[in-house]
Amino acid sequence: MYELKIITQFSAAHRLANFYGKCEALHGHNWKVEVNLLGERLDEAGLVKDFGELKARTHEVLQDFDHKYLNELPEFRQENPSSENLARRLFERLSAAINNDRVRVQRVSVWESDTSCASFYLP
């Protein structure tokens, strides 16, 4: 089994309803995003996935979130744009863009600070 990982980032603001703490107020993060792919076999070039293509697909997905107020996005009108929910939404979008019979998104981790992250994956 092979695993690939890229790390990228984007900036966005959010607030957490029903939080009852500092994060209930509008604030922003420079989010770091880790995308892990899993592949059982390599392609004809000896790759799980070209890093350039993986980065391009990830940047396409992140464009909808970058420099936005996350609470105003359709995905977060009914749920808080927490790190956990953001990781799941990015996982879903990236899986739709990347997964095939040979490779799949294994995990997406979203770091809101240098010391705190949330991940979403399917076992």
- Domain residues of the chain, as ranges? 2-121
Classify domain 2-121 by CATH number.
3.30.479.10
pLDDT of 2 strictly over 90: yes
Phi, psi of 30 (to 5 degrees): -100, 95
CB 98 within 8 A of CB 105: yes
Cα angle, residue 85 at apex, residues 52 and 37 outer, rounded to 5°: 30
Tell me the per-residue pLDDT of 80-120, one tens digit each, with 9 for 90 and over: 999 999 999 999 999 999 999 999 999 999 999 999 999 99
Report, in this order, helix, strand and coil percent for the chain, each rounded to 5. 30, 35, 35
pTM above 0.85, yes or no: yes
Q: What are phi and psi of 86, to 5 degrees?
A: -65, -45
Whole-number mean pLDDT of the chain? 96
Question: Residue 100 in contact with residue 36, Cβ under 8 Å?
Answer: no
Which phi-psi region, left, alpha or beta, contains residue 65 (left: φ > 0; alpha: ψ -120 to 50)? alpha
Burial class (CB in 10 A: 0-12, 13-18, 19+), 75: middle
